[in-house]
A and B are shown apart, each in its own frame.
Chain A
């Protein structure tokens, strides 16, 4: 059985996988529904899964904001999806209101969307095109990782 598992591991990456967020729906921090398919009309959408207790997530936010400001002539939408459990959910709004990032904040308190997108740790960053297809994904954040995202943005716009 373990051999089959290894086979599965080797086979699938060779082919043409991708992820889509088009049919997702979540609530924003005010409890209003956010339907992705109605909100993808941007030059690029960056989605970051985060949590209030996650230090690398908070380090990534200024880098994402700087990236958005670097391309003022482009419409870049940044969606921050909180994976905080109900234990820290009340702190999400507090964080959003007390920081001036130009992000759309959504909540996924039971990690349902995170699970469907196979996000098992935060931060997790996705770059999504107008069709809702992920053209770049990155798990974790270290200082300097935004350079890879910047390259992916330029590749997206060069297509």
Chain B
């Protein structure tokens, strides 16, 4: 396959940035999208140019490092996948592909397609935990968690923190991300002690990071690689409101 890429190139955080056109030649449909970019990058380096910078690591859809806007879709066409799980068989010979970084004021571009998502970490830091100390913990079976509850918690906990929810949202809202963590710990018995302070602090931090507000378009759920449901956002809202009284 031969493809035309329009890739966002930006030298650093202060650079204006622009789209640059590249041709990707001899692309096999079995390649992953990132492997296609690897090939383009080898070409670029050989020509003496700097390669396209993008975050990536595990390449199996779990570390949450990779993420780019591909033809206007977070993680590209398809559902329930991270960019590394997108394969070139989703494209046809001759296609033109627009590749852009996540866009959000809270995710400043570091270089090319790499953005700074540490805002997520600062949110997690402001309460995304239980205050269990190491050691002196009762037996794991001392806390009973019926299967449906464990499953519900797991569904939320599956979040990989890639930021696709923010990227896909017209408001750059981080609600699905925050909701996933709040929800996981809100349904589990282990999360009860800090249930109210957690949601209040995490939402406050989310606002401080300048993420937008949720307008319930559910674009986040549609693009989430782990299919995290917006019902967790409803739970976050519920938890937040209840915590104010």
A and B are interacting partners? no
Residues of A bordering B, CB below 8 Å: none
